Amino acid sequence: MEKWLSEITAIPGVNGVFIASARGTVLHNHGLQLNKNELEDIALRLLRMGAIFIENDENVSEIELFWKNSFIICKISNNILLITVCESPKILPLLRITLNVSISHLLQDKKIIKMARNLATDKTLVLRKGKFDEDELNFLSDI
């Protein structure tokens, strides 16, 4: 696992990468100086975005977004999120190739698969049970 995550972080402009379960639980962090709660918040928000597609019977395998002056790309596959935090999207072509190779190898890692399987959940559950930010709570209070 470390080998594949190291290959991702070796790309200039990549700040770090982490693996999360389908519940947003951080399974492994490689190179990011963020605390576990911040990483889980990122994962949960990505899961919520992915769940919107699933609710509409659409398949989503990748999500890209900007977060706190960073570019985030998330690969979603088999209850695993491979989340990479970068300085900018300029490195996207090389990063995508590396992420595709890395996730295919990570999906063969029995340790990761076992941890992810133990934390599997309904992929739309995060829409019903997720954390809401202040704007969402204000909107809901007006309804």
pTM for this structure? 0.77
> Rounded to 5 degrees, what are φ and ψ at 128?
-90, -25
Please give the pLDDT value at position 140: 46
Structure tokens at 1: 């696992």
Judged by DSSP in three states, 131 sits in coil
Please give the pLDDT value at position 116: 63
Q: Where are the domains of the chain?
A: 2-142
Judged by DSSP in three states, 130 sits in coil
Task: For 72-125, write each residue's pLDDT tens digit.
Answer: 999 988 788 999 999 999 999 999 999 999 988 888 877 776 766 665 555 555
Please give the CATH architecture assigned to the domain spanning 2-142.
2-Layer Sandwich (3.30)
> What is the band of 19 on the pLDDT scale with cuts at 50, 70, 90?
very high
Distance between CA atoms of residues 48 and 25, nearest Å: 14
